[in-house]
Amino acid sequence: MSVRDLIPWTRSASNPAPAALANEASSPFLTLHREVNRLFDDVLTGLSAVPSLAGRGLGWPKVELVEAEGSLKLSAELPGLDERDVELLVEDGVLTLRGEKRSENTDTTRGYSERSYGRFERVIALPFPVEEDKAEASFRNGVLTVTLPRSAKVPERGRRIAIKGGTGAQRTAH
């Protein structure tokens, strides 16, 4: 077996190497190794495209964060939810958006019922200090809009950090 056979992105599933096929018949461990690699390839490459059980992909809900007019505006699309299903929390420079979606469908004529439940949570680090007590949120047509005014108490500052080299000389970062 060559090193190229171990690297998943150089393998071609439709055109395996002829030498590898000859060795595979004689070694059950090589067959097991190849099948485990194929399993991991299938799982990892399809992970971002596979929706969750509740019909949503990873990173749901999608949010948009924009700085405008001295405040931070966040909008999140939450179709099928009401404001009572969503919780917002601002604390220590972090905005947390969490909630739960519940759906139940019953069709008595066909004799089935479907239920789907799913919790979500997005934690967003705020780029600057905000006035937490003046934050406002509205929910309309499945879109949550949050406005967080910039705090005037803490000015934006940067701090230069000295970098020490291996020779003991000190330099400053630019």
Give the total number of structural domains in the chain.
2
Same domain flag for 143 and 73: yes
Residue 86 has pLDDT above 60, yes or no: yes
Residues 95, 76, 51, 113: is their CA dihedral positive or negative?
Answer: positive
d(CA 24, CA 174): 56
Provide, rounded to the nearest whole percent, the portion of the chain with pLDDT above 90.
14
Whether 73 and 37 map to the same domain: the answer is no
Q: What is the pLDDT of residues 109-150, one digit of tens each?
A: 888 888 777 888 889 888 888 888 899 999 998 899 999 999
Q: What is the pLDDT of residues 56-77, one digit of tens each?
A: 445 578 889 999 888 999 999 9
Range of the domain at 23: 3-46
- The pTM is what? 0.52
| Average pLDDT of the chain, as a whole number | 76
- On whether both 16 and 68 belong to a single domain, the answer is no
Long-range contacts of 108-117 (CB under 8 A, 24+ apart): 116/53, 116/54, 116/55, 117/54
Assess whether 97 and 138 both reside in one domain. yes
Query: Distance between the two ends of the chain, CA-based, in angstroms?
Result: 49
